[in-house]
Amino acid sequence: MRGETAAQPRAKGAAVLSVYGDATGVTRLRDLRQSGSLKLVFPQTHRKQAEAVFVNTAGGITGGDRFALDVDVQTGAALAMTTQAAERAYRAQTGEIGKVTTRLTVQNDATLHWLPQELILFDHCALKRRLDIRLAARARFLMVEPVVFGRAAMPEVLSNVTFQDRISITRDDRPLYIDGMDLCGDATAHLARPTIANGAGAMASVVLVDPAAQRHLNAIRALLPPTAGASMMGDDILVIRQLARDSFELRRSLIPVLNHLTQNTLPTAWRL
């Protein structure tokens, strides 16, 4: 109708995945359901560990989009998950917010490597993400979450964005790692502040939950640039925070760290 803004098409996608370890230690598919714009593909790894790549066939996220992923890594299984490429949060119409909800469950004597590639925020994007990880007492877990604030090559200024990010890791229902970020308005000006990001255009958080985490600390610190730091939050919890000028610089320093922590089994998509 004249004077009204036509409703725009919106992307929706959902996937449910569960894997288990068989008697020989090979990770097998138990359940897979997927719908809409969220798809999972499974490259051949020639290892006992399985690999899953999730693909957003909509090509990005904008206001009103809805995506949900639920993963269960059962006893004896080892799974690495990544994205086909960097995800993009595009410009949204006023009052519309895209939502991405991910729930990961890792059972006893199971391992999950959650290794999505970068999320790139565009000016006027509006996105809320929530990542909930539930670990059993003897679960092993590695996570990286890289975020890029605009494309440096353009160059882009994020003068008006809405971005809310929540990460929760629990073990036996007890909080292990809780993190959150809220960016609203002029993100470029906010990130330019010396006490916030000192002008960095990209960042990443890495968390390793593993009985051998302490053994990696010195090697990881030797790999990190001056704009990153690593510390132990507990006997088996290693946390890394990193800032970088742009996505290229971030990836260049992240890949050696992830190679070390995955014992050189980083998914191929990270090397393309």
| Banded model confidence at residue 19, pLDDT cuts 50, 70, 90 | very high
Long-range contacts of 193-200 (CB under 8 A, 24+ apart): 197/243, 198/243, 199/245, 200/149, 200/227, 200/243, 200/244, 200/245
Instruction: Please give the sequence-ordered ranges of beta strands (E in DSSP) within 46-173, or none if there are none.
Output: 50-56, 66-73, 78-83, 87-89, 98-106, 111-114, 119-121, 126-135, 140-149, 161-171
Rounded-to-integer distance, Cα 155 and Cα 249, Å = 15
Per residue in 58-101, pLDDT (tens digit) is: 999 999 999 999 999 999 999 999 999 999 999 999 999 999 99
Residue 29: band (very low, low, confident or very high) from pLDDT cuts 50, 70, 90: very high
Instruction: Work out the pLDDT band at 3, boundaries 50, 70, 90.
Output: very low
Average pLDDT over residues 34-57: 95
Decide if 73 contacts 79 (C-beta within 8 A).
yes
* Band of pLDDT at residue 271, cut at 50, 70 and 90: confident
Token pair 């470029």 is found at: 188
pLDDT digits (tens, 9 = 90+) for 104-117: 999 999 999 999 99
pLDDT band at 7, cuts 50/70/90? Answer: low
Mean pLDDT for 32-41 is: 97
Is 60 exceeded by the pLDDT of residue 6?
Answer: no
Q: What's the whole-number mean pLDDT along residues 129-140?
A: 98
